[in-house]
C-alpha cells in the first residue's frame, strides 16, 4: 500500500468513526426532544429562574444539529476518499475549516463573556435555593433530582446545608437535613452538622470539578483542533493528488 492508498484508508476509517458518532448524537438529540416534557416540568418548578436557563432546553436541537453535521462530514470524507471525488473532498475541507473557525470564535467569546456566565450561574443558584426551600420534601421531582445530585457529587444543597432550613422536609422531619448532608451519621440534625466535617455545596463542588479538570478540558479541545487540522491537511493532499492524476 503506497502513501496515497494509506491516506485514503485512514481518511475512510477516521470519517467512518465521525459518521457513527454523528449518528449516535443525532439519536440522543431526538430522544432528548421527545422526552423534553420531564425537563420542562422540572424547570417550571424553579421560581425566579434566570431567563438564560431556558437555553438548556435547546440541548436537543444542539445535539441534532451537531449529529447532522458530523454525519455529513463523515459521509463526505468517506465517499470522497473511496471514490476519489474532488468535489466531496473540497466540500469536506471547507466544512472542517468553517467548524474550526467557529470553535476559535467560540473560545474567544467564552473568554470575553466569562463574567456574564458567572453571573448567570449565581442567579441560577439563588433561584435553586428558593426552589429547595419551597418544594424539597413535597415535590417528588424536585426532591428526587436533588437527592440524586447530592448523592452523586457528595454535596449538600447549593451552597451548604443551610439551604434546607425552612424547607418542607426540614419542617416535617423535626429540623433534620437530608441524609446526603450527613453521610456517616443519623439523624442528620444541626448538632451533627456542627460537629462533623462540612459537606460542600453542589455549586462549589461543580465549580471545583470544572477547575480540577481544566487541563483535561483544554487538552481535549486542543486534541480536537489538531485532528481537524490533520483532516484538512489530508483532504487537501488527496485533493491535489487526484487533481494531478486527472490533469
Q: What is the pLDDT of residue 227?
A: 84
Task: Report the candidate in 162, 159, 148 with the shortest Cα–Cα distance to residue 207.
Answer: 159
The answer on 202 and 104 residing in a single domain is no
The answer on 64 and 44 residing in a single domain is yes
Tell whether the model's pLDDT for residue 50 goes beyond 60. Answer: no
The answer on 98 and 31 residing in a single domain is yes
Q: What is the pLDDT of residue 52?
A: 44
Q: What is the pLDDT of residue 51?
A: 45
pLDDT in tens, 68-125: 888 998 898 888 888 888 888 899 999 989 888 888 887 777 777 767 666 777 787 8
Cis check: omega of the bond before 217, within 30 degrees of 0: no
Q: Is residue 119 assigned to a domain?
A: no
Domain membership of residue 92 as a residue range: 3-114+217-246
Q: What is the pLDDT of residue 12?
A: 84
The answer on 92 and 22 residing in a single domain is yes
The answer on 70 and 148 residing in a single domain is no
State percent of the chain over pLDDT 70.
85
Q: Is residue 242 assigned to a domain?
A: yes
Confidence of residue 247 (pLDDT cuts 50, 70, 90): low
The mean pLDDT value for 12-37 works out to: 80
Give 68 or 53, the one with higher predicted confidence.
68
* Helices and strands counted in the chain (H then E): 10, 0
Residues comprising the chain, all counted: 247
The answer on 94 and 147 residing in a single domain is no
Confidence of residue 49 (pLDDT cuts 50, 70, 90): very low
pLDDT in tens, 172-204: 988 899 988 888 777 888 888 887 777 888 888
Confidence of residue 168 (pLDDT cuts 50, 70, 90): very high
pLDDT in tens, 1-24: 567 778 888 888 888 888 888 888
The answer on 93 and 52 residing in a single domain is yes
Residues 6+ apart with CB under 8 A from 69: 22, 95, 99
The answer on 157 and 38 residing in a single domain is no
Candidate from 163-177, 199-213, 222-236 with smallest mean pLDDT: 199-213
Q: What is the pLDDT of residue 53?
A: 46
Report the C-alpha gap between 192 and 197 in whole angstroms. 9
Q: Is residue 185 assigned to a domain?
A: yes
Q: Is residue 212 assigned to a domain?
A: no
Task: Report the candidate in 180, 159, 182, 167 with the shortest Cα–Cα distance to residue 132.
Answer: 167
CATH of the domain at 146: 1.10.1450
Q: Is residue 227 assigned to a domain?
A: yes
Tell whether the model's pLDDT for residue 130 goes beyond 80. Answer: yes
The answer on 75 and 48 residing in a single domain is yes
What does each C-alpha distance from 92 to 35, 41, 104, 158, 242 come to in angstroms? 33, 41, 19, 45, 15
Q: Is residue 65 assigned to a domain?
A: yes
Candidate from 109-113, 134-138, 153-157, 205-209 with smallest mean pLDDT: 109-113
Q: Is residue 130 assigned to a domain?
A: no
Q: Is residue 140 assigned to a domain?
A: yes
The answer on 107 and 167 residing in a single domain is no
> pTM for the complete prediction?
0.57
Is the CB of residue 54 less than 8 Å from the CB of residue 40?
no
The answer on 98 and 193 residing in a single domain is no
Domain count within the chain: 2
The answer on 166 and 99 residing in a single domain is no
Amino acid at each position: 500500500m503506497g502513501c496515497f492508498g494509506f491516506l485514503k484508508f485512514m481518511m475512510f476509517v477516521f470519517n467512518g468513526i465521525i459518521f457513527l458518532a454523528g449518528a449516535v448524537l443525532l439519536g440522543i438529540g431526538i430522544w432528548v426532544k421527545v422526552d423534553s416534557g420531564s425537563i420542562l416540568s422540572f424547570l417550571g418548578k424553579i421560581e425566579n429562574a434566570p431567563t438564560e436557563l431556558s437555553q438548556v432546553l435547546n440541548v436537543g436541537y444542539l445535539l441534532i444539529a451537531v449529529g447532522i453535521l458530523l454525519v455529513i462530514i463523515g459521509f463526505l470524507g468517506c465517499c470522497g476518499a473511496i471514490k476519489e471525488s474532488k468535489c466531496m473532498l473540497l466540500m469536506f475541507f471547507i466544512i472542517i475549516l468553517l467548524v474550526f473557525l467557529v470553535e476559535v470564535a467560540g473560545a474567544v467569546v467564552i473568554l470575553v463573556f466569562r463574567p456574564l456566565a458567572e453571573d448567570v450561574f449565581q442567579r441560577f443558584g439563588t433561584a435553586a435555593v428558593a426552589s429547595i426551600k419551597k418544594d424539597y420534601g413535597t415535590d417528588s421531582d424536585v426532591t428526587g433530582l436533588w437527592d440524586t445530585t447530592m448523592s452523586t457529587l457528595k454535596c449538600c444543597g447549593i451552597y451548604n446545608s443551610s439551604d434546607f432550613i425552612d424547607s418542607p422536609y426540614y419542617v416535617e422531619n423535626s429540623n433534620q437535613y437530608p441524609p446526603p448532608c450527613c453521610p456517616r451519621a443519623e439523624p442528620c440534625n444541626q448538632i451533627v452538622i456542627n460537629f462533623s466535617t462540612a459537606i460542600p455545596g453542589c455549586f462549589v463542588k461543580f465549580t471545583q470539578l470544572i477547575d480540577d479538570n481544566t487541563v483535561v478540558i483544554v487538552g481535549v479541545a486542543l486534541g480536537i483542533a489538531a485532528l481537524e487540522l490533520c483532516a484538512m491537511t489530508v483532504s487537501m493532499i488527496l485533493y491535489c493528488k487526484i487533481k494531478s492524476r486527472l490533469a
